[in-house]
Amino acid sequence: MRTGMRQGPEIWIREPVGVPEPGPPEPAHARMAARRFSWVGTHGGAGVTTLAAVYGGHDSGRTWPGPGDPQAVLLVARTHASGLETVVPTVEMFRRGEVPYGVGLEGVVLVADAPGRLPRPLSQRIRRIESLTGVYRVPWVPEWRLGDLSGRLPREAGPLARLTGSAG
């Protein structure tokens, strides 16, 4: 190796780089850029409005996002039997190209329908969904049921918070 050569990424810079003014350090959560999503329920009562309020993004209800809305979709369903039954057919619509042009599936968000562990048959259905696409789980949050959306995000939903840029 020759000495005297510049090494590192500086060799690709074509002009001087200014030194940033020193200031207070920025908190980690402030540096994270929030991604915009459209939340789409696969059935009524899935929790789309609550998730959009808590994590940010567009509440599409049960319809596809419009032209001015974020085209990245997070499908939402509850973890009860009838809620889980709606997920696979909706995911298949993406595979078959039966969704509006430009709309893309980012994953499925499964919202707990009750506190506690899921019965085995429901866990098996979720494994099937996980074999098709990314799944994000949101636990039962009693405060949300009462309309209090101001508390801390559930620790178990950390992956969803990171995806949406809501971690902090």
How much is the average pLDDT of 46-69?
Answer: 96
Most confident option among 7-21, 23-37, 48-62, 154-168: 48-62
- pLDDT at res. 167: 65
- Asked whether residue 12 is domain-assigned, the answer is no
Taking only the tens place, the pLDDT of each residue in 19-55 is: 445 544 444 444 345 578 999 999 999 999 999 999 9
Decide if 156 is inside a domain: yes
Residue 24 counted as domain residue: no
What does the pLDDT look like over 82-133, one tens digit per residue? 999 999 999 999 999 999 999 999 999 999 999 999 999 999 999 999 999 9
Mean pLDDT of 150-162: 92
Q: Is 127 helix (H, G, I), strand (E, B) or coil?
A: helix
Q: With a cut of 50, say whether residue 161 has pLDDT above it.
A: yes
**What b/e readout covers 141-166, taking b as 16+ CB neighbours within 10 angstroms?**
beebeeeeeeeebbeebeebbebbbb
* pLDDT value for 34: 59
Within-domain flag for 151: yes
Whether residue 1 is contained in a domain is answered as no
> What's the total number of domains in the chain?
1
Residue 77: pLDDT band (50, 70, 90) is: very high
- 83-to-61, 78, 125 alpha-carbon distances in Å: 15, 5, 11
5 located within any domain: no
Higher pLDDT pick, 149 / 9: 149
CATH number at residue 124: 3.40.50.300
Give 148's pLDDT tier (boundaries 50, 70, 90).
very high
Inside any domain, residue 68: yes
- If you average pLDDT over residues 137-157, what whole number do you get? 93
Task: Give the span between the Cα atoms of 158 and 149, in whole angstroms.
Answer: 16
Residue 120 lies inside a defined structural domain of this protein: yes
The domain in which residue 156 lies consists of 34-164
CA distance 70 to 37: 5
Strand ranges inside the chain, DSSP E = 38-41, 58-59, 72-78, 104-111, 135-138
Q: Is the pLDDT of residue 74 over 80?
A: yes
> With contact defined as beta carbons under 8 Å apart, do 137 and 158 qualify?
no
